[in-house]
Amino acid sequence: MGGPLEGVRVVELAGIGPGPYTCMLLADLGAEVVRIDRATGSRPAPDAGPHWDLLVRSRRSVGVDLKSPDGVELVLDLVARADALVEGWRPGVAERLGLGPDDCLARNPRLVYGRMTGWGQDGPLALRAGHDIDYIALSGALWSIGRAGEPPVPPLNLVGDFGGGGMLLAFGIAAALVEAQRSGQGQVVDAAMVDGAASLMTMTHAMHHLGMWNDDRAANMLDTGAPYYEVYETADGKWFAIGAIEPQFYAELVSVLGLQGEKLPAQNDRSQWGAMKERFAAIFRTRTRDEWAAAFEGTDACGAPVLSPWEAHEHPHNAVRETFVEVAGVRQPAPVPRFSRTAASISLPPSPSGLHADEVLGDWGVDEERIASLRKSGAID
């Protein structure tokens, strides 16, 4: 069998960042996702090699001129045969093109219409530009990340774009598809990165309400305040991470560091955290990263070497689990999550825009004569 979403058809109105990530997740899980790219006026060669953008893997591309009435009508015809649509434009753009929710649901009342924006479809900021750093700033997530006395540190664009955005939109679409099977009705899924980033902070809010979270940055258990949840430099200038939160794991950490039997402060005596961090740091500087990895192996002391993205595939655990795979000569993260019976897979390497027009449109019921007419008018590449 294919992935768990085999048989689901999705129209992707191409965008950047979190929208393509949503569609990559759906496609890796077996959905047939057709990417509607911007027409360029020329078709790629049939033997064009893989495209560089891994986020567009596992799906085929059609180049369409969405300023052409014929191009819009073609997309609406595809929507009529689809289960879901994904768009990531600013609010109102899809409506102006004639591809908004009302237009699409009129063609297909069962359609799940997924929308990805930073600020959401409404609100004072809805029409403003922004990026991941802005969305996580407004959600409260960025404020909590960083060292004491230093500015907050952007965690790449993982929290807003991909965690709070693309992943949650994929989850929302999957949930709405399940509901549509029961009700026979589609709906709009409004995924805003600011909302998603706020949701990811739920546990932090709980800890604050319980009096377990200090307002000062880097003064808490999970924000590098605690000596047992920290990253330490090693003798070779590399880094080692520890996260020994539970008392039994902390006891193992103390043992691996050679401090067993010494009279140490209580694990959560915050007045002593600074001194303990200095002591741990001095110990970690006595061995290389890989020597510490060997020392922690086989223990529950919750330690791990900090690997670069380019060496992570070499770690024995990642290698055994095939966390990274190679497709068309490019190493990349494997599809997630894992399924015991309907395995996910990368069905196609990333491909150039507009490469698959004839085969996709034929598969979706568009006859050859119409394809030729659309190409002649410039509505498709």
For residue 200, give the H/E element and its range: helix 193-200
Q: Is the pLDDT of residue 41 over 90?
A: no
Q: What is the pLDDT of residue 139?
A: 98
Q: What is the pLDDT of residue 44?
A: 81
Encode pLDDT of 282-306 as tens digits.
Answer: 999 999 999 999 999 999 999 999 9
Q: Is 358 a catalytic residue?
A: no
Encode pLDDT of 114-136 as tens digits.
Answer: 999 999 999 999 999 999 999 99
**pLDDT band, very low/low/confident/very high, at 27 (cuts 50, 70, 90):** very high
Beta-carbon contacts of residue 87 (< 8 Å; ≥ 6 apart): 13, 15, 19, 94, 99, 113, 114, 115, 116
Q: What is the pLDDT of residue 1?
A: 61
15 burial (CB, 10 Å; 0-12 / 13-18 / 19+) is middle
| Active-site position among 70, 77, 103, 131 | 131
CA distances (Å), origin 357, targets 64, 76, 135, 173, 281: 9, 16, 36, 25, 58
Domains identified in the chain and CATH numbers: 9-200+324-377 (3.40.50.10540), 229-318 (3.30.1540.10)
The overall average pLDDT reported for the chain is 96
Encode pLDDT of 340-377 as tens digits.
Answer: 999 999 999 999 999 999 999 999 999 999 999 999 99
Contact 352, 45 (CB under 8 A): no
| Active-site position among 37, 83, 161, 223 | 161
Tell me how far apart the alpha carbons of residues 232 and 289 are, in angstroms, rounded to a whole number. 9
Encode pLDDT of 313-340 as tens digits.
Answer: 999 999 999 999 999 999 999 999 999 9
Q: Is the pLDDT of residue 311 over 80?
A: yes
- Mean pLDDT in residue range 85-98: 98
DSSP letters spanning 213-282: --SSTT-STTTT-STTEEEEE-TTS-EEEEE--SHHHHHHHHHHTT-TTS----TT-GGGHHHHHHHHHH
**pLDDT band, very low/low/confident/very high, at 167 (cuts 50, 70, 90):** very high
Q: Is the pLDDT of residue 47 over 80?
A: no
For residue 65, what are its two tokens?
Answer: 């001129």
Q: Is the pLDDT of residue 209 over 80?
A: yes
Q: Is 161 a catalytic residue?
A: yes
Tell me how far apart the alpha carbons of residues 208 and 224 are, in angstroms, rounded to a whole number. 16
Q: Is the pLDDT of residue 46 over 80?
A: no
Q: What is the pLDDT of residue 51?
A: 74
pTM: 0.95
Q: What is the pLDDT of residue 344?
A: 96
23 burial (CB, 10 Å; 0-12 / 13-18 / 19+) is buried
Q: What is the pLDDT of residue 310?
A: 96
**pLDDT band, very low/low/confident/very high, at 48 (cuts 50, 70, 90):** confident
